[in-house]
Amino acid sequence: MIIVKLGGSLSHSESLIKCLNSLEQNYAPNAIVIVPGGGAFADQVRLAQQRWQFDDNTAHSMAILAMQQMALLIKGLKRYFTIARSVTDIKKQLSRQKIVIWSPDIVELDQAGIAASWDITSDSLAAWLAGVLSAKELILVKSASIDKNLSLQKLAEQNIIDQGFCDIVRQATFKINIINQQDC
């Protein structure tokens, strides 16, 4: 199984549909789960938190809703893909050889002990999901240029991946690929 996290910034260009088409053509009927970033919806949460100074737990819940909105956007573009909200639902949909879009359930994430912090974004959530599902590979698709020579720590320092990612993948058994949207 492959987990593909599509950065939310892809929604600002034609790269989103290009990546979705590529996933559909190159990976189906293999088991694939798409993890959407929050995109412009998450950007609005950041702005609202700056303006209103509400706590990180509230912002975290709102950011998960942003990911859910992106999942709906992807589903609207690819009607044959399916949305799954829980790990159990993902496994069920994968057994039907569907391309799955993860629309994370906040309760499941809270029960898993996922920190409510901007250090944990959809990058880290995709890594967590890859671990829980025993994926063979995690692909992060970014709009930023990716220097293949940089370590994960350096990518985190440059804010290409989130600050919590390195901790979550420290003992990962899956392969990690971080690519630019043009390589999708």
For every one of its 184 residues, what pLDDT tens digit does the chain have, with 9 covering 90 and above?
A: 999 999 988 988 889 999 999 999 987 667 999 999 999 999 999 999 999 999 999 999 999 999 999 999 999 999 999 999 999 999 999 988 889 999 999 999 999 999 999 999 999 999 999 999 999 999 999 999 999 999 999 999 999 999 999 999 999 999 999 999 999 8
Sheet of 2-6: strand order equals 82-84, 100-102, 32-36, 2-6, 137-142, 175-180
Task: Find the Cα–Cα–Cα–Cα dihedral 184, 28, 75, 35, rounded to 10°.
Answer: -60
Residue spans of the domains in the chain: they are: 2-183
Burial class (CB in 10 A: 0-12, 13-18, 19+), 180: middle
Task: Find the Cα–Cα–Cα–Cα dihedral 104, 45, 17, 13, rounded to 10°.
Answer: -160
Distance CA 112, CA 110 (A): 5
Domain 2-183: which topology?
Carbamate kinase (3.40.1160)
> Given this model, what pLDDT does residue 38 score?
95
Distance CA 37, CA 16 (A): 11
> Given this model, what pLDDT does residue 29 score?
65
> Given this model, what pLDDT does residue 172 score?
95
Residue 149's φ and ψ, nearest 5 degrees, are -85, -10
Joined tokens for residue 9: 């910034």
Residue 139's φ and ψ, nearest 5 degrees, are -115, 125
> Tokens 């309760």 belong to which residue?
107
Tell me if 125 sits within 8 A of 161, measured CB to CB. no
- With a CB cutoff of 8 Å and minimum separation 6, the contacts of 104 are 64, 67, 68, 85, 125
> Given this model, what pLDDT does residue 30 score?
74
